[in-house]
Structure 1
Amino acid sequence: MTGIDTSGTAGGGASRLSPMPRPPEATTFARPSMVGRGLSWVADYVYAGRRQLAVLSFPWAIGRPRPAPPAWQRGEPGLPEVYLIPGVYEHWTFLRPLGDALASAGHRVRVVHGLGVNRRTIASTSERLAGLLARTPAPDAGRVLVAHSKGGLIGKHLLVSSGAAARAAAAAAAGGDPAEGAAATTDGGRPLGLVGLVAVATPFGGSRLARLFVVPSIRAFSPKDETILTLGRETSVNGRIVSVFGPWDPHIPEGSALDGATNIAVPTSGHFRVLGARSTARAVLDGIAVLTGTVPAAD
């Protein structure tokens, strides 16, 4: 079961661009007890360790980018193409459970090579991603970014900088196809075709825990970081974002709910383990359906 909220607010005012259909009534999940949080914290890091080791699994790729599973290259033309954007210190293999679920549902799943362990700044990585997407024409059904943690911030930055979210929202508000709106271009460049973003466990408002670290790539998540503050002020694209999160995230005490976005709660706690939950895969698929204008069926 997942809980979906499209009221246009996570505690504040509504987004200017939130013309999406209304899914089933939201469900909320109670935060675990202190003992439960401790057990969840341990399970979270066990899961993260296993997923980090997945990069060593077959097929090996020495001196070249690790190929995505062949099954991910096939999909239904009527469904949007999905690009996976991992978090900081994560390889795309960290998101393989979600990629497999998306491919099984008929989506073509793409990965982004050349990010390393995603330590670059949010802005520079967003620019790299834009360049990659611009190399190939967007499919008729458009593209959706599915991201974890920092990847969600990169995705929001790209929605803002490319203008794709605003065009998709305008098309949806007029009763048209969001993918067609996202595919439009006004600057003579190749359109990226971004219909929207589904972000899992993303610190849209930053995390106060980031200030405890000296590593710049982690301190960048501070609520006082200029990029975090700038993205927070860019509320016009929030209507094209779906935020998925569990009842408790040890890395993001503030939570991942985003004003003006579609916020989907799932029952699994954790910052990493939530990626492998079946309910999260369902929530991501529901989120894509919301972004593309198809109301998901009730659980």
Structure 2
Amino acid sequence: MSTDDAPLAGSVAGPPAPLSPLAAAGWWALDYLDAAKQQLRVLALPKASKRWPTGDVGKPTILLLPGVYEHWSFMAPLGDELNRRGYRVRVVHGLGANLLGIFETAARIARALERIPTPTAGLVIVAHSKGGLVGKRILVGDVDRRLGLHGVVAVATPFGGSRLARYLLDPGLREFRPDGATITELSGAASVNSQIVSVFGTFDPHVPEGSVLAGARNVQVPVAGHFRILSAPETREAVVAAVEALAPTAARANPS
């Protein structure tokens, strides 16, 4: 599925246009304010198992994968919307702040998925930032065939890395260097790109290179920010449409 094959509404061919320094600084501030609010949200949310307990067994199960330094609660707006549309939603516990390497994280998640019953209608990963890279790594292995993994919906994911990672000391963040071994290897695994829908906004302060992925479906939503995009209604609609595009048979058989 490329951007030329039945493109989703909002599909684009290139990265977002750059903003002026003043406008970019303003969006940085708003984005971090939103991130702070989301960090506090974890204190008020019930456990994920109580939040999304049921759904249509004829629809694929959704697995939420957050980004680095993120709890699953960052993705609660997307999980709520997908569950409202009839999808069962699951999260992975035990990742902490998601600071392990991308490949190690993918291996842990793959092992965890193999210990649970295969969902009747398969699985779709919905991920944010680093979670999208973890999802792509899982697609590269053969676990996707065993689990019936339809694909990955990645929101604000640095598929080409982020040049800002060069200036950071944290190894968990330096892994995003565009010329680093992790990003280089994942970029070379282009055969799975057709199983990915990349959703991104008009400006991402953490991913100046943009999130366009060649060979994938690329969908831009009219929202700025790396974190603010997760709670925007336009993003929710784009993610639901992306899930249905990756698993069209299940979606048509069980309309919401």
Q: Same fold (TM over 0.5)?
A: yes
- Aligned counterparts, 1:1-299, within 5 A: 6-7=2-3, 21-24=6-9, 26=11, 32-59=19-46, 67-68=47-48, 70-162=50-142, 164=144, 182=145, 191-293=146-248
Q: Which amino acid aligns with 1:89?
A: Y
Residues 205-245 of structure 1, C-alpha deviations (whole Å, 9 max, x = no match):
10000000111011010011101100000000000000000
Within 2, Cα distance between the matches of 1:276 and 1:252? 18
Question: Are the structure 2 counterparts of residues 148 and 41 from structure 1 closer, same or farther at C-alpha, using a change threshold of 3 Å?
Answer: same
Partners of 2:67 and 2:131 within 8 A in 1 = yes
Write the distance in 2 (CA, Å) between the matches of 1:26 and 1:127. Answer: 31
1:35 Cα shift?
3.4
Contact 1:55 1:93 in 2 (8 A): yes
> CA 1:26/1:100 → structure 2, altered by over 3 Å: closer, same or farther?
same
CA distance in 2, matches of 1:90, 1:25: 27
- For residue 196 of structure 1, report the CA deviation from its aligned partner: 0.3
* Structure-2-length-normalised TM-score: 0.91
Three-state SS of the structure 2 residue aligned to 1:269 is: coil
Q: In 2 relative to 1, CA 117–240 (structure 1 residues): closer, same or farther, beyond 3 Å? A: same
1:73-104 C-alpha deviation (Å, 9 max, x unpaired):
21111211000001011111111111111111
Whole-Å separation in 1 of the counterparts to 2:236 and 2:111: 28
| Residue 25 of structure 1: how far off its partner (Å) | 6.5
Letter aligned with residue 204 of structure 2: D
Deviation string, structure 1 residues 229-269 (Cα, Å, up to 9, x no partner)? 00000000000000000011010110000000000100001
Q: Please report how far the alpha carbon of residue 71 of structure 1 lies from its aligned counterpart in structure 2 after TM superposition.
A: 4.3
Q: Is the 8 A contact 1:71 1:103 kept in 2?
A: no
Give distance in 1, aligned partners of 2:102 and 2:206: 18
User: Is the partner of 2:62 in helix, strand or coil?
Assistant: strand
Q: What is the CA–CA distance in structure 2 between the aligned matches of 1:85 and 1:25, rounded to whole Å?
A: 23
Shift of 1:275: 0.6
The Cα of 1:204 is off from its aligned counterpart by 0.4
**What CA RMSD, in Å, does the superposition of the two structures yield over aligned residues?**
2.2
- Comparing 237-246 with 96-105, greater Cα deviation is found at 96-105
Q: 1:229 is paired with a residue of what secondary structure?
A: helix
Alpha-carbon distance in structure 2 between the residues aligned to 1:25 and 1:51: 26
The more displaced of 233-242 and 89-98 is: 89-98
CA distance in 2, matches of 1:216, 1:287: 32
Name structure 1 gaps, 5 residues minimum: 9-19, 60-66, 165-181, 183-190
Q: Name the count of aligned residue pairs.
A: 250
Per-residue CA deviations over 1:140-180 (Å, capped at 9, x if unaligned) read: 2110000010000000000001252xxxxxxxxxxxxxxxx
Identity %: 49
Contact 1:32–1:247 under 8 Å retained in 2: no
Q: 1:223 to 1:68 in 2, by over 3 A?
A: same
